[in-house]
Structure 1
């Protein structure tokens, strides 16, 4: 759980739970307040209903001065593609598809009883 800085690892066979500090920071998929707006694009068959999406492109640098970029839908600001670079990981690019708004079962974030 990132808000508590805990990482839960449950062995489903033995029901043994190992709780440690998070091994890495959580990356947000929202546009940071200091991100630079780079422009808007129409991806797909422009002008054809339901065959295109308007996207907004942002970039910037994170708290460690590493560069990042984000491509988000124009209407709901949902992530389509994000990328960043760090000396620790190198370049990391993520693509998003079949995104659903909201969490259908928020109980999945509650640690199993073996871990409390």
Structure 2
């Protein structure tokens, strides 16, 4: 089945830090990390490692999960400039290629988002016990979906995303182990056995490729 991961990096009382009100922000252009996703009222879940490249407009995902009592493993490469998405199977040396009908959106808090709160996750009794984060809410106009996104005050690193549409219900994403930068840029290059394959007739957008 298609992946469950809804890459929340693409949609993202009021507190005050050092006397300054938080402002919408953009995440670093190169990010590596991991994420978990829960959907369908807890009946579906997935774990994934991700690589995010805003310069080249590329996203790579390695994931496994379970939905409707069925487990799945997926290795996906999204190339937005080329308009292609690859589903790669290294074990069988096979590859599925589809046209990607989506525009790349950088990971950011939109300017029209509303600040819900600024809080410290964990503790505040001593240095290093907590993490200062900002939570924002808004609407994704393309889908009319509602979101609540939490990012770090310093660095604008994604922490969590709650996303709701009447069709899909709630999708809950948590991010962790984020590192700025990409260790191996070749992860964004399709393997050699994907070179000569035919493009599938089905055209996918970013959300349908996952959901």
How many residues are aligned here?
A: 116
Runs of 4+ in 1 over 3 A off after TM superposition: 22-29
Distance 1:25 1:89, change over 3 A: farther
- Quote the offset at 1:26 in angstroms: 6.9
Tell me what 2:173 maps to: 94
CA RMSD of aligned residues (A): 2.3
Distance 1:21 1:52, change over 3 A: same
Q: Give 1 or 2: higher strand fraction.
A: 2
Tell me what 2:111 maps to: 33
- Quote the offset at 1:104 in angstroms: 1.1
Q: Name the CA distance, whole Å, in 2 between partners of 1:29 and 1:80.
A: 12
TM-score relative to the length of structure 1: 0.84
Point out where structure 2 has 5 or more consecutive residues left out of the alignment: 1-77, 196-211
Tell me what 2:74 maps to: none
Q: Name the CA distance, whole Å, in 1 between partners of 2:91 and 2:130.
A: 46
Q: Which structure has more RCO (C-alpha within 8 Å, separation ≥ 6)?
A: 2
- Quote the offset at 1:110 in angstroms: 0.8
Distance 1:95 1:27, change over 3 A: farther
TM-score relative to the length of structure 2: 0.49
